[in-house]
Structure 1
Amino acid sequence: MDFRKTYDQIPEKFDQWRPRYCDELFAAVIEYTKLEDGKAALEIGPGTGQATEPFLKTGCEYWAIELGENFTKFMKDKFSSYPRFHIMNGDFETYDFGDQKFDLVYSAATIQWIPEKIGFPKVYDLLKSGGALAMFMTLSDEKSGNEILYEKIEEAYRRYFRVETKYNCKLDYGNAVNYGFVDFHYLDWKRTRILTADEYVEYLVSTQVEHITLQEPYRSRFLNAVRDAVLDAGGRIMIHDTIALYLTRKP
């Protein structure tokens, strides 16, 4: 199964439940790249644009390449009022950008879907000399704030979580330096979310690819078990998020 278009089936729900990034992250990327009017940025797989507007507001020429047709339409409806907004519906791995070059190429939890032997060299070629690659994502910890509840949720996974295809997209972001990138460094920011039982279930089935594709009868059994576990624990689950940012540049 190709998971890459999973979220495109539910653009509104994905947009509602996907955690947002913090202002500090956007400020760090913009400062690192000195992004402004006269410069160009490319976003890989923007989805519903949760990491788009801060860059548009710099006045840069913004481009995006988006695989999902529904996401592409969502983005056009959302940002078409910006005169320097451009989006292509296509596959980054095979799309021909011609002579286009960018001061910034960035990914908000998307580049890990691309094999590094394809992704890193292609980004390198698309960047101007001195241009930057920014990769960021939200890493969620549901264990440390909920030890007993976490074990009950794990039991629900053991009993009912039966998916046809496992999500196995892994990327060592530090490997960018093996493809010519320099000045690699990492920043992060912490935050905490508290969700109700129903909110947590909606979050799972709107933002996690395996949960979206989980079929009956396992789907209902699993979700009911998770909901009941959270309700039994007081009706709330605490999630500790790490908003992680990797920055590097082309010499």
Structure 2
Amino acid sequence: MAKDLELNRTFDTSSSVYDKMRPNYVAELYKKIFDYISITPDSCVVEVGSGSGQATRPILDTGCKLTAVEYGEHLSELLREKFGKYKNFSVITGKFEDISFADSSCDLVFSATAFHWIPEDIGYSKVFSMLRSGGVFARFANRPSISRNPSAITQKIERLYDEYYYSYYKKERGTKQAFTEEQAEKIATIPEKYGFTDLQYHLFGRERVFSADEYVQLLSTYSDHIAMKKAVREEFFSKIAEAINYHGGTITIYDTLDLELARKP
């Protein structure tokens, strides 16, 4: 799909903007994790695909030993700077699939809007091996949508996507729908195939409002948008900003956050 860059490395080309614009996760989500498993200073935790650490701090604040696995070199360095005061924090730069971890060595493995980059059979099997008996895998993600309440601005942006994004990637737009409970339930059942039990899923919602410039900055952190040729991307973003400013100057994103929990027997 990417023209010049491997998509799961494109985030690393805009690490500072990524850190500024990508959202954190709601407190209720972490409460569900901590209700499901007790994390203490004696716990060993691995985060898969840490990015710039949007999901990291609430776990680190438990006092646990946390190892972040991040593919991007710039993002890895940003993580070291951001969480350098935590003596129980370390970063491994590389693909999760390529890094060796001792069997039965972790209490919690978690991944925030990143685990989809890893082939299912490799990812779940590896996490299962890493966890101690009773250990937990927490997979969660943020699913943004601007089309929950169709309006003139959302329709204009959809037309711009047809003109620039979908024509660039030579594919049809299809019907966009907000992330559903059925999708979360489907993801939550995957770990069962790899030996996990005690499956749960939870959904959370929120709204975020962006100015035209802020929204364009956010789009510039999306891997498939970064991978577009610069001239096409810049014109595309400029047209989106013009549309937002014409239609009142702000745009609302409706987030659905899903959390899937599974335990190793």
The question of a shared fold, defined as TM-score above 0.5 by the shorter chain, is answered with: yes
The superposition leaves residues 31-90 of structure 1 with CA deviations (integer Å, 9 ceiling, x where unpaired) of: 211011211110001111111111111111111211111111111111121111121112
Provide structure 1 residue ranges, at least 5 long, that are not aligned to the other structure: none
Q: Does 1:128 align with 2:122?
A: no
Q: Alignment partner for residue 216 of structure 2, among 191, 197, 201?
A: 201
Deviation at 1:199?
A: 1.3
Partners of 1:113 and 1:216 in 2: how far apart?
A: 24
Aligned twin of 1:181: 196
Alignment of 1:9-28 (within 5 A): 9-28=13-32
The partner residue of 1:30 within 31, 34, 42 is 34
Does 1:75 pair with 2:79?
yes
Aligned with residue 229 of structure 1, among 238, 243, 246: 243
Equivalence for 1:137: 141
Letter in 1 for 2:95: D
Corresponding residue number in structure 2 for 1:118: 122
TM-score normalised per structure 2: 0.88
1:50 aligns with 2:50: no
Q: Which position in structure 1 is the counterpart of 2:174?
A: none
Task: Tell whether the 8 Å contact from 1:42 to 1:63 is kept in structure 2 after alignment.
Answer: yes
Distance 1:11 1:100, change over 3 A: farther
Task: Tell me the CA shift for residue 217 of structure 1.
Answer: 3.2
Segments of 4+ in structure 1 off by > 3 A? 162-166
Cα distance in 2 for residues equivalent to 1:216 and 1:5: 17
In the TM superposition, what is the alpha-carbon distance from 1:117 to its structure 2 partner?
1.0
For 1:67, the aligned partner's letter is Y
State the alpha-carbon separation in 2 of the partners of residues 216 and 231 from structure 1: 22
Q: What amino acid is aligned across from residue 234 of structure 2 in structure 1? A: S
Question: Percent of counterpart pairs with the same letter?
Answer: 36
**CA–CA distance in 1 between the matches of 2:94 and 2:253?**
34
1:76-95 mapped onto 2 (5 Å cutoff)? 76-95=80-99
TM (normalized to structure 1)? 0.92
Mapping 1:240-251, distance limit 5 Å: 240-251=254-265
Worse-superposed segment, 36-45 or 26-35: 26-35
Rounded Cα–Cα distance in structure 1 between residues aligned with 2:154 and 2:126 = 40
For 1:217, the equivalent position in structure 2 comes to 231
Query: Which AA in structure 1 matches 2:214?
Result: E
Whether contact under 8 Å (1:102, 1:126) holds in the other structure is yes
State the number of aligned residues: 247
Paired residue type of 2:244: V
CA distance in 1, matches of 2:106, 2:157: 44
Partner SS for 1:50: coil
Where does residue 6 of structure 1 map in the other structure? 10
